[in-house]
A and B are shown apart, each in its own frame.
Chain A
Amino acid sequence: MTTHATATTAETITGFITGRFPRAEIDPAKDIFSLGYINSLFAMELVMFIEKTFELTIPNEELSIDNFRTVEAMTALVDRLRPAVTTG
């Protein structure tokens, strides 16, 4: 996994969150649910967005709120689940 690909994943996820919550200042380590206006209903949308965008299926055992609390956690989840592909 290259640094560039990881940065892109984080940016893509951040972009989705700020698209819905334009005033949100998203630090990669920030717990988005602590902002006060993002709730578990949005977590469900994050699951669907991530699966569609990164073309993967998140296994049931990974569907815990802790995997969606921060952009860092979501990026790590995507990295774990993405098939190891070599782009060239």
Chain B
Amino acid sequence: MAMIGVVGAGVMGVGVAQNLAQGGHEVVLVDRDEAVLAEARTAIARNSRMSRLMGGPALDADTILAAISTAVGVSSLAKADIVIENVTENWDVKRAVHAELDEACSPDTVLVANTSAIPITRIASVGAHPERVVGVHFMNPVPAKPVVELIPGVHTSEQTLERTRELLRSMGKRWVDVKDASGFVSNRVLMLTVNEAAFLVHEGVATAEAVDEVFRGCFGHPMGPLETADLIGVDTILYSVEVLYEAYADSKYRPCPLLKQMTDAGLHGRKTGRGFYTYES
């Protein structure tokens, strides 16, 4: 089985690596330092253990971890068949990582950008081989969410798309084809909703609990927008809204000051134990 690289060992990278291991792939998970990678292994073990509880298959954490090796820096990905990049939703960070990947990987390696709002064509412009760059917007938690957005850039080749579809099938994923525009379909709508929900709390119109109860009780959504923000990460929400604001130069994407303050305060949601709600970790 070909080796798949996963870059960025945060919430998304951890989920992608676990999902790939479940699909029978050999995975190399890469981040900037050993401490992050050690935490990632702990998170993968915990999430694998909880898989059945969350409605997934029963998983043996040791078997999943055995399929995932970790490494600092992207040099170990030279021979990867496909690399899935999941670094912070920030253009400077994405640009630097894609420049490194373009240099380190064979021209045959497909580079998948897992991004919630940055245009794929822009990411592809960083390297010398834009035809091998494609966007996949995974949802969180990755192993539990069966559908992704699949986004070709202007220069993405059919071969790149087909290899990506094959990988997604092996991960048990279906995809929705979406053209390349900042935020795609999902986050063009969701980020505005979350941002406006944050404004309601910021202005004292309603509590987070009340906002979420309206979405669950009145609309039948399984989760409200602010619970969703805590799940995605309040910092990631802010960065995504900022990306949309910059991409469309449209004031309707102005980020709520409360999101900025929560990000500065480390109130990033589930992953830090506190966001709009407080969590047991």
A interface with B by C-beta (< 8 Å): 16, 20, 23, 36-37, 39-41, 43-49, 52, 60, 63-65, 68
Contacts and interface: CB of A to CB of B under 8 A. Distances in A.
SS class of chain B's interface: helix, strand, loop or mixed? loop
Contact of A48 (B58, B223, B278, B281): B281
B54 A44 contact: yes
A63 B49 contact: yes
Contacts, number: 44
B222 interface: yes
A20 B277 CA distance: 8
Interface of B: 49-50, 52-55, 58, 60, 209, 212-213, 216-217, 222-223, 231, 270, 277-281
Contact of A47 (B53, B216, B222, B270): B53
A46 B279 CA distance: 10
A65 B53 contact: yes
B58 A60 contact: yes
Given A48-B280, A49-B280, A63 B50 contact: yes
SS class of chain A's interface: helix, strand, loop or mixed? helix
B280 A37 contact: no
A23 B216 CA distance: 15
Contacts of B212: 37
Given A45-B279, A60-B49, A36 B54 contact: no
A68 B53 CA distance: 9
Nearest to A46: B280
